[in-house]
Amino acid sequence: MTNKQNIDFSDALIDLVHDIYGPSPIPLHRPVFEGGECDAVVATIKSNFVSSVGERVTEFERRIAEFTGSNRAIATMNGTAALHMALILADVRAGDEVLSQALTFVATCNAMSYIGAVPVFIDVDEDTLGMSPDALRRWLVANARNDGGVTVNRATGARLAACVPMHTFGLPCRIKEIAEVCEEFGIALVEDAAESLGSHVGARHTGTFGKLATLSFNGNKIITTGGGGMIVTDDAGLADRARYLTTTAKVPHKWEFVHDEVGYNYRMPNLNAALGCAQMEKLPDMLRIKADVAARYRAFCAEHGVHFIEPIAGTRANFWLNAVRLKDRAARDAFLEATNAKGVMTRPIWRLMSELTTFAACQTDGLTTSHWLADRVVNLPSSVPEAQFHRLHA
């Protein structure tokens, strides 16, 4: 793509975004509060049950479990807290290593660091932007050994306790193949499904392939509770322990305050859960509208010879954040400058975790594809257009 072509694409894209969303400024992703959110929140305030004890927390957990096809769901104060707890439940300990991807949001690695575990960064697939099962297998064959039934890193001697792939921008990674590799090497699979509520591999929702998975309901997610997260699992024992540990490890009693181990004040407040319940009412409609927006971007990119990143065959994405892949870093930066200067928010993919000071010393497999993508991938505005939502509910 020449400089002129890049300018033409940027200008045309800005016109398309204005046609979808209206005048600037246009954010990357805004929440939609066009249903019963206000009534739900006010009713919860009037009930006086606004903290972590309340029927809306239970209802929101039930709705998410049913929607994802999980046996149990445990609501937390945010997605990072959910992942921290999921790693504890997966028996990740201080000094362990956790296989993950450098192409992710920093919360993935922060949750490991809270425990004292160390990430090992595996490359991603070019088409899914998620962990590559082939790269995972290659690294394990070359670097792992079995030590008395425990998989350890030959170079460090540390236990390889878990694997945390992430479904980037709601695009399902090759999670079935990753699960097979983890099973082969005896490594717990914990899915970071923070961005993929509404995404599927075949008929199965993301987050249902490992021991545990986590979701996020941050203000920029497809539905929001303001701040919030969720642990999902089919293991009733793990779910009960998650509920106990996230409720300060308090032994149930009518009046006594007995806490028999270190716990965490991680439960989602009832006020946030009320917002989530109202948001769940319109999630199916929002997914359909977001698919329509993605279709417009897809057709536009095909017309202009730009690569629109699609879910791979056999999967269905929620199109949380739409993304394009440009020619090189120079084209990426010029596009970012042109669009943001006109009030249309676009952004590059996150800086790779391996390039952050905090995680620069972590072992990697070279991350060739991750670096290549980081130079080229840009997110486009991906909110549910208010006008389209209003027409649907008129």
Task: Render pLDDT for 141-162 as a digit per residue (tens, 0 to 9).
Answer: 999 999 999 999 999 999 999 9
Q: How many CB atoms lie within 10 A of CB 322?
A: 25
Residue 394 reports pLDDT greater than 70 = no
Domain that holds residue 381: 3-33+283-392
Indicate the residue type of 214. Answer: T
Residues 18, 141, single domain; the answer is no
Residues 314, 337, single domain; the answer is yes
Q: How many CB atoms lie within 10 A of CB 23?
A: 7
Question: Where is the domain boundary, 231, 260, 281?
Answer: 281
pLDDT at 34: 82
Confidence of residue 5 (pLDDT cuts 50, 70, 90): low
Q: Which of 16, 12, 17, 31 is nearest to 386 (CA)?
A: 31
Q: Average pLDDT, stretch 59-75?
A: 98
Whichever domain contains 344, its CATH number is 3.90.1150.10
Residues 310, 260, single domain; the answer is no
Whichever domain contains 79, its CATH number is 3.40.640.10
Residues 7, 70, single domain; the answer is no
Q: What is the mean pLDDT of the chain?
A: 95
pLDDT at 7: 61
Residues 29, 59, single domain; the answer is no
pLDDT at 391: 63
Question: Where is the domain boundary, 249, 281, 313?
Answer: 281
Residues 216, 249, single domain; the answer is yes
Residue 392 reports pLDDT greater than 80 = no
Residues 264, 365, single domain; the answer is no
Question: Where is the domain boundary, 237, 266, 281?
Answer: 281
pTM of the model: 0.96
Residue 211 reports pLDDT greater than 80 = yes
Residues 129, 29, single domain; the answer is no
156-177 as b/e, with b when 16 or more CB fall inside 10 Å?
A: eebbbbbbbbbbbbbbbbbbeb
Residues 294, 388, single domain; the answer is yes
Q: How does pLDDT run across 78-128, given as a tens digit for each residue?
A: 999 999 999 999 999 999 999 999 999 999 999 999 999 999 999 999 999
Residue 8 reports pLDDT greater than 90 = no
Residues 25, 68, single domain; the answer is no
Q: Average pLDDT, stretch 188-217?
A: 98
Residues 295, 383, single domain; the answer is yes
Q: List % helix, strand, coil for the chain (3-state, nearest 5).
A: 40, 20, 40
Number of domains in the chain: 2
Enumerate residues 6+ apart whose C-beta is below 8 A from 182.
163, 188, 189, 210
